[in-house]
């Protein structure tokens, strides 16, 4: 009798096992395709989004929030598409849909509230940093920041025992989570998250920022976006500490990230101060309460 073959776990096999469970809603998939097709108008895209009442309400709340600061009220999705931009609104649709999808899955993560707080704060900081880098349409970086750790949720849902071993290793050694994951599992949450958004046929720039948010020096095609999310991820961790303890995180920021963005560590404290008032609004806007 032949010995039973062991199933080899890879990022792609984990994602394949999650596809049905975390498939983006039909509306999100449809909008993603329409945005890249010039024959569709803002009103046509708005009509598709409006098929999902909960998504529509949340997007309008985002469009009318202080995140954007538009002077006049935006009352329709087609107006939001026109004012915010086709691709930028598509990115927000993706973020809201992904958070809703994952929030509906029972998850044995140690602290889901802390997970989403870190994710949304990273998104806020990414968007603020994009302004300092004079990047147009920084909404995509808000989305990259919000989704950068989605791979962790896949790990905790599909292989919780290995996930807990990696967490225990982090507590024991003090090393970063992605390093512990590589040791215990053989790959990290960044690889899984990238494979997930790739399976959703989302933009390559989003895939890259997720895949390389711990290793920005490896990002060839989207180095600036990736560097911004990398820096924002560390700043988000720093914001959880008191000012005296923040300096220990500085060494985690790769020198290439400072170089490619033109930023330096002097931006950290002002950005934390600027981001904090936006966090609670961000949580209320993005997290599903409907």
pLDDT per position as a tens digit, 124-175: 999 999 999 988 777 789 989 999 999 998 898 888 889 889 989 999 998 9
* Coil, strand or helix at 242: coil
User: Where along the chain do its domains lie?
Assistant: 18-286
What tens digit of pLDDT does each residue of 76-87 get?
888 888 888 888
Give yes or no for a contact between 49 and 93, defined as CB atoms under 8 angstroms apart: yes
Is the pLDDT confidence value at 38 over 80? yes
**Among 43-57, 107-121, 225-239, whose mean pLDDT is lowest?**
107-121
| Higher-scoring residue by pLDDT: 155, 110 | 155
Q: How far apart are CA 211 and CA 205, in angstroms?
A: 10
Closest by CA position to 156, among listed 134, 181, 133: 181
Predicted structure pTM score = 0.88
Is the pLDDT confidence value at 1 over 80? no
CATH 1.20.1060.10 fits 18-286, yes or no: no
What pLDDT shows up at residue 6? 40
Q: How far apart are CA 192 and CA 29, in angstroms?
A: 20
List all residues 6 or more positions away from 93 whose beta carbon is below 8 Å from its beta carbon: 27, 28, 31, 32, 49, 55, 59
What pLDDT shows up at residue 254? 95
What pLDDT shows up at residue 271? 95
């Amino acid at each position: 009798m032949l010995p039973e073959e062991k199933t080899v776990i890879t990022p792609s096999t984990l994602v394949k096992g999650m596809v049905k469970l975390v498939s983006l809603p039909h509306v999100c998939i449809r909008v993603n395709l329409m945005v890249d097709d010039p024959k569709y108008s803002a009103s046509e895209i708005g009509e598709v989004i409006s098929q999902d009442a909960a998504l529509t309400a949340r997007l309008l709340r985002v469009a009318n929030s202080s995140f954007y600061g538009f002077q006049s009220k935006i009352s329709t999705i087609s107006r939001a598409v026109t004012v915010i931009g086709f691709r930028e609104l598509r990115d927000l649709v993706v973020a809201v849909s992904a958070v809703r999808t994952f929030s509906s899955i029972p998850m044995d993560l140690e602290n889901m509230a802390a997970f989403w707080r870190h994710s949304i704060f990273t998104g806020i900081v990414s968007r603020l940093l994009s302004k300092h880098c004079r990047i147009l349409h920084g909404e995509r970086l808000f989305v990259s920041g919000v989704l950068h750790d989605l791979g962790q949720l896949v790990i905790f849902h599909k292989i919780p025992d290995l996930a807990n071993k990696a967490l225990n290793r982090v507590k024991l050694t003090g090393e970063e989570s992605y390093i512990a994951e590589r040791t215990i599992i053989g790959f990290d949450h960044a690889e899984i998250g990238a494979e997930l958004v790739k399976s959703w046929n989302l933009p390559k720039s989003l895939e890259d920022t997720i895949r390389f948010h711990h290793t920005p020096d490896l990002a060839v095609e989207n180095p600036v976006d990736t560097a911004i999310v990398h820096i924002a991820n560390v700043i988000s961790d720093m914001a959880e500490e008191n000012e005296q303890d923040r300096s220990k995180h500085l060494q985690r920021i790769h020198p290439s990230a400072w170089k490619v963005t033109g930023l330096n560590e002097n931006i950290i404290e002002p950005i934390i101060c600027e981001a904090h008032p936006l966090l609670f609004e961000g949580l209320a806007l993005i997290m599903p309460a409907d």
